[in-house]
Amino acid sequence: MNVTPDTQTVWIDLSLIDVPSQARAHSPDQLESLAQSMGKDKQLQNIIVVPKGDRYEVIAGIGRTLAAKRLGWEKVRAVVRDGLSPFAQLYVTAAENDEREDVNPFDRAALYKRMQEAGGLDVRGLAKALGKDETVVGRFLSLADMDPSVKESLARARLSMTHLREIMRLNEPNDQISIGEACAKGDWPVKKLKSEVDKRVKDASPGLPPPSPMGRGAGGEADPFQKVWEEAKKDASHPKAIEVEYPRKGQWVFKVTASEGEEITGLLDALNTLHTSLNLYRHNK
């Protein structure tokens, strides 16, 4: 993807440079370490900015910008990129984040979500634009859709994506928060966390009632996601068979029979749409 339509390198007054409100957070320790390095070695890498009226906004190099301000510098060396679309600006930020090993998964998830919205893309389209595996991108978008209180708590815990995938198997936000905090405090390996999640999943599902017909809940109530699923399913590539079970409130089981790879891929898009709608419904209840 070409994201450099008008580029020039200049020295810019720090007083004219703004940091986006949704920029990924840098801890005081990270900024102190970076400031010490820049104080010794000066600015080794340009920041990247875009014009915003008579000011500029950083799209890559936020840590360097904040460290330079901490050091009391008056100017920084910057590459100015004019004419970038909102999606292209976020793409530049994502490209820099890919070079960092310390990016919190929730920061990456939020960025992918903003890119998806800015580009009007489905999971497959975003994955293609990023040059990443569709499954990986989908997992980050699932993080972005988690309950806000869960995201805040788990972001502070700074758990790995592998840990977070296990925690996402739990349905209730309080369970996700409590096990995430316990995991971080006890420095649990993934194997230990998986075992604890398995126990909670089993305890939350004793004596499930028989599966109920599509469109009805376990207690006979109308399934609020039937219409969502029917709409999402239209985007699938005509799978041979779809069977839906609703064994308990908040849990849907989809059994799919398909013989072609294209059919499976189409269903992935449909299921992602359903997952997003489910989370939005849950958050707005």
Domain boundaries, the chain: 6-84, 146-203, 226-284
When pLDDT is cut at 50, 70 and 90, the band that residue 243 belongs to is: low
- What is the per-residue pLDDT for 131? 92
Q: Which residue has the higher pLDDT, 205 or 5?
A: 205
> Does the pLDDT value for residue 100 go beyond 60?
yes
Task: Dump pLDDT digits (tens) for 47-87.
Answer: 999 999 999 999 999 999 999 999 999 999 999 999 899 99
- What is the per-residue pLDDT for 87? 95
- What is the per-residue pLDDT for 283? 45
Q: Domain 6-84, what architecture?
A: Alpha-Beta Complex (3.90)
Give the pTM: 0.67
Mean pLDDT confidence for 242-254: 56
> Does the pLDDT value for residue 208 go beyond 80?
no
When pLDDT is cut at 50, 70 and 90, the band that residue 116 belongs to is: very high
> Does the pLDDT value for residue 4 go beyond 60?
no
Dist CA 112 CA 129 (whole Å) = 11
- What is the per-residue pLDDT for 179? 96
- What is the per-residue pLDDT for 44? 87
Dist CA 124 CA 121 (whole Å) = 8
Task: Dump pLDDT digits (tens) for 127-177.
Answer: 999 999 888 898 899 999 999 999 999 998 989 999 999 999 898 999 999
DSSP string, 158-204: T--HHHHHHHTT---HHHHHHHHHHHHHHT--HHHHHHHHHHHHHHT
Among candidate residues 218, 217, 198, the one with its CA nearest the CA of residue 208: 218
Averaged pLDDT of the chain: 79
Dist CA 261 CA 217 (whole Å) = 31
Task: Dump pLDDT digits (tens) for 63-73.
Answer: 999 999 999 99
- 120-144 per-residue burial string, b: 16 or more CB within 10 A, e: under 16: ebbbbebbebbeeebeebbbbbbbb
* Residues whose CB is less than 8 angstroms from the CB of residue 20 and which lie 6 or more positions away in sequence, other chains included: 57, 58, 59, 62
When pLDDT is cut at 50, 70 and 90, the band that residue 242 belongs to is: low
- What is the per-residue pLDDT for 94? 92
